[in-house]
Amino acid sequence: MIVVLAPQATKENLMQVTNMLEERGYAVHITEGVAQTIVGAIGLPTDPTAKGEVMEQFESLAYVDKVVAVTKPYKIVSRQFRPEPTVITVRGIRIGDPTFAVIMAGPCTVETESQLRESARAVKDAGAHILRGGAFKPSTSPYSFHGHGESALKMLAAARDEFDMPVITEVMDVRDVDLVCKYADILQIGTRNMANFSLLREVGKTQTPVMLKRGMSATIEEWLQAAEYIASQGNTNIILCERGIRTFETYTRNTFDLNAIPAVKELSHLPIIADPSHATGKASLVSAVSRGAIAAGADGLIIEVHPSPETALKDGAQSLRPEAFRELLRDLDPVCRAVGRRM
């Protein structure tokens, strides 16, 4: 249940509503908007049969605009809770703004300082806004490379300063959240950790924006519930990322679920980014899928770019060379404009 206060409602009114909800057994979550304040009542009333009655009581209050029942298992991240799109601003870059398409790019893994600087310069020159790079890497095999950890985080922070680009990097362990927050502008939760609820709660306790990748076998609504885990801890700076799901198809690494873009837009107010690199696993398909995602309403892209993909420690087959990335953005530009976005 969501209680939307009237524009003229005072702080006192808000406190009254909060108290009344808590008395009836609800947990309360407050979102103060520019024009209106919204109070989320989470859970069920002590007496669940009285739910309709409770709604009427609140609706009759003079300083309450409307009361909305939210039947979805996700509340705070639902479109019902917040009809207008959420925009998250990271060092001046606006993610979720319907007039802007954000481009995140960089290597899968931070390998060396020179590789990262070369990548950062290349993607910046081509027009990217945010630098990606892995310091902690999930890997199916325990014997593979798992990232350079803190030293890679330091290289990312150095690259951010040199090239004036916010950086995004993955956090995989609850014990690393503080460390990664020290260096990163956006935390990434990878596909394998989408349902690592401890980790979701831990990043939910920070105020650092979080990009939550869809689990490779998660339904759209399970994904939104994972986002709700983060939001329920107080961090609503959440960016969703569709990175392909696991299906029977073997020609591509994953199946990019285009439906998910407009589906998320109708179910949630959160920004959604597409990751065509993981969704396809093939450099030759990345540009087309990028255009498709933006045309369908994605708020941006995250793309793997590597100065020499054939020597990359991970995911070389899906990484673009800098020149291919430049070409991608050149082809993307008219599509962005066609749907009212600038890059």
For residues 198-227, which are near a second copy according to CB under 8 A? 198, 201, 216-217, 219-222, 225
The yes or no reply on residue 293 touching a second copy (CB under 8 A) is yes
> What separation in angstroms does the CA of 168 have from each of 68, 134, 189?
36, 8, 10
Stretch that binds a second copy, among 103-111, 156-164, 169-177, 314-322 (CB under 8 A): 169-177
The yes or no reply on residue 61 touching a second copy (CB under 8 A) is no
Stretch that binds a second copy, among 11-19, 90-98, 190-198, 320-328 (CB under 8 A): 190-198
Q: Which is nearer to a second copy, 118 or 257 (CB)?
A: 257
Q: For the CB of residue 316, give the shortest distance to a second copy in the complex, in Å.
A: 18
The two tokens of residue 48 are 């669940």
x/- track of binding to a second copy for residues 4-43 (CB under 8 A): -----------------------x--------------xx
Q: Which of 182, 192, 205, 330 binds a second copy (CB under 8 A)?
A: 192
Q: Which of 34, 35, 52, 266 binds a second copy (CB under 8 A)?
A: 266
CB 290 within 8 A of CB 305: no
For the chain, give the longest Cα–Cα distance.
Answer: 67
Say how many CA atoms lie within 13 Å of 234 toward its Cβ: 5
Cα 143 off chain centre by: 30
The yes or no reply on residue 288 touching a second copy (CB under 8 A) is yes
Stretch that binds a second copy, among 6-14, 81-89, 160-168, 285-293 (CB under 8 A): 285-293
Phi, psi of 210 (to 5 degrees): -125, 125
Say how many CA atoms lie within 13 Å of 170 toward its Cβ: 25
The yes or no reply on residue 295 touching a second copy (CB under 8 A) is yes
- Report DSSP state, residue 135: S
Count of residues in contact with a second copy, rule CB under 8 A: 74
- Which residues have CB under 8 Å from 91's CB, separation 6+? 166, 185
CB 191 within 8 A of CB 220: no
Q: Which residue has the tokens 């892209």?
A: 301
C-beta neighbour count of 221 within 10 angstroms: 13
C-beta neighbour count of 109 within 10 angstroms: 24
CB 255 within 8 A of CB 244: yes
The yes or no reply on residue 289 touching a second copy (CB under 8 A) is yes
Q: Which is nearer to a second copy, 105 or 172 (CB)?
A: 172
The yes or no reply on residue 258 touching a second copy (CB under 8 A) is yes
Q: Which is nearer to a second copy, 159 or 226 (CB)?
A: 226
Write down how long the chain is.
Answer: 343
| Subset of residues 130 to 149 that bind a second copy, contact rule: CB under 8 A | 138-143, 146
Q: For the CB of residue 199, give the shortest distance to a second copy in the complex, in Å.
A: 8
The yes or no reply on residue 172 touching a second copy (CB under 8 A) is yes
Q: Which is nearer to a second copy, 48 or 73 (CB)?
A: 73
The yes or no reply on residue 294 touching a second copy (CB under 8 A) is yes
CB 129 within 8 A of CB 93: yes
Stretch that binds a second copy, among 80-88, 114-122, 153-161, 281-289 (CB under 8 A): 281-289
Q: Which of 62, 92, 175, 310 binds a second copy (CB under 8 A)?
A: 175
Q: For the CB of residue 169, give the shortest distance to a second copy in the complex, in Å.
A: 16
Distance between CA atoms of residues 47 and 92, nearest Å: 47
Q: Which residue has the tokens 């956090």?
A: 171
Distance between CA atoms of residues 74 and 209, nearest Å: 19
Q: For the CB of residue 12, give the shortest distance to a second copy in the complex, in Å.
A: 28
The two tokens of residue 280 are 């396809």
| Subset of residues 73 to 132 that bind a second copy, contact rule: CB under 8 A | 73-75
